[in-house]
Amino acid sequence: MNRREDEFRVLSTTAILGYGFPQASFEAGLRRKPHLIAADAGSTDPGPYYLGAGKSFTNRDAVKRDLRFMLKAGISRGIPVVVGTAGGSGARPHVDWCEEIVREIAREEKLKFRMAVVYGDIDKKLVRAHLRKGEIVPLACVPPLDEETLDASINIVAQMGVEPLLQALDTGCDFVLAGRCYDPAVFAAPAIRRGFDPGLALHMGKILECAAIAATPGSGADCALGTLKKGSFILEALNPKRKFTTASTAAHTLYEKSDPTHLPGPGGEIDLTACTFTDLPGGRVEGRGSRHVDTERYWVKLEGVRRAGYRTISVAGTRDPIMIASIDSILDAVQAQVREILKSERIDGRVQFHVYGRDGVMGALEPEKTVRSHELGLVIEAVAATERESESLCSLTRSTLLHYGYPGRISTAGNLALPFSPSDVKMGEVFEFSIYHLMPVKDQGIFKIRTVRV
């Protein structure tokens, strides 16, 4: 199991399963005879809805396309295939959804293989036990967890490290389908199993989890190859249009991290204080000096969400310079008028205006305070406890703004240009992150593993 080899080659297919990749890049990677084909399938970046709703944020047909290439190549060549954070958020509904796609591909392509399914779902009883011991630690800018919030939370998952994946690989499976994972784990676990250095393997995995995004020009829909050696790793693009550079590689090492030299993960951190990058011929980069340092206790990150109501939106625009000049006072007045009208109906909800052309992207953090746009885009967002209430709130806000009489207005026919009919769109349930905390782990058995013949 731990037999040392000179190098371990990893073919990373795409930044997120379902983003796609050029067939030519994939085939170029196969010609390098990889020891592993892997992809990270998810992220919290699209927000809490997908974890709460149990749905994927990537398209089913696109996921099936990517998986078909990976499974056919891996099974026929005897190359292990590992996918982490299945279905986008990695809870049981997402993993089961992805497993269904895998079984479809197997039937259609007449593939036979052994599959290990690793779940990242965490029982509330376990979280509660640690909470009562004072062992649930909030991440930065997150309030402490309490039992009321825990009770309201659904689909609680933990970012598993390499250990459950190592256990799954030890069953002799050809394909590992995992729930919520620490992103580098799916790329690093098979290499660590072969005896390669964990620090280098995890650092290489940290970059490969986004595939060719770390190349230049970067792309999340293209393949990359990582080659792990005894004292270094080498990264290269598989598309002649791209190359890795020391700048692009170092930049991606800092990607989504608040500390440039210490990258925390399950059970430890990657220490980059001695890390160096060197350009190699052919658009390749070699990394050295990365170390993995165990923490005194093994911590995992928990993620969970709770329901926050229902959302309805309306999209509109304005080109009236008089309205644009007074947009803040107009929106405030509309909000006040709507609240007064609905007071008797006892509709409790909130309305938010997203003003594009002013601060629609950054909101209050927008440093440019002067509006220079000749037009503004407005998204009216109404959230309330029920779908009916959110529709009522959005509808009344939209109609009030449409005909609101602001000082200096010339036309009374309407203040807004509404591009769609119907003008209001039901967006369904709203979820918010309620658990974004660390929990200590003594037993990796909390991650349940199921092995099946497909």
Taking the CB of residue 274, how many other CB atoms lie within 10 A of it? Answer: 11
Rounded to whole angstroms, the Cα distance separating 158 from 156 reads 7
- 131 membership: H or E segment, kind and range: helix 124-132
Q: What is the pLDDT of residue 289?
A: 97
- The pLDDT of residue 258: 84
Tell me the two tokens of residue 24: 């030519």
Q: b vs e for 338-370, b when ≥16 Cβ sit within 10 Å of the residue's Cβ?
A: beeebeeeebebebebbbebbbeeeeeeeeeee
The pLDDT tens digits for 312-363 are 999 999 999 999 999 999 999 999 999 999 888 888 899 999 999 999 999 9
- Report the pLDDT value the prediction gives residue 409, as an integer from 0 to 100: 94
Asked if 83 and 63 touch (Cβ cutoff 8 Å), the reply is no
pLDDT value for 333: 97
User: What integer pLDDT is reported at residue 227 of this predicted model?
Assistant: 98
Which single residue is written with the structure tokens 């709770």? 306
Q: Tell me, rounded to whole angstroms, the distance of Cα 255 from its chain centroid.
A: 13
Helix, strand, coil % over all residues of the chain, rounded to 5 = 35, 30, 40
User: Which residue is it, tokens 């009030």?
Assistant: 400
Q: Are 219 and 16 in contact (CB under 8 A)?
A: no
Give CA angle at 248 (244, 250), nearest 5°.
115
Question: What local confidence, expressed as pLDDT, does residue 3 receive?
Answer: 45
306 close to 285: Cβ distance less than 8 angstroms: no
Collect the ranges in the chain with pLDDT lower than 50. 1-4
The residue among 49, 65, 72 whose CA lies nearest residue 17 is 65
Between CA 454 and CA 449 the distance in angstroms is 15
Taking the mean position of all CA atoms in its chain, how far away is CA 318? 34
Helix (H) or strand (E) holding 177: strand 175-178
Q: Is 407 helix (H, G, I), strand (E, B) or coil?
A: coil
Global confidence as pTM: 0.93
Helix (H, G, I), strand (E, B) or coil at 438: strand
Using CA atoms, how far residue 262 sits from 38, 220, 265, 269, 304, in Å, is 25, 25, 10, 6, 25
Tokens of 397: 């806000």
Query: Position 10: which residue type?
Result: V
Q: Given this model, what pLDDT does residue 249 score?
A: 95
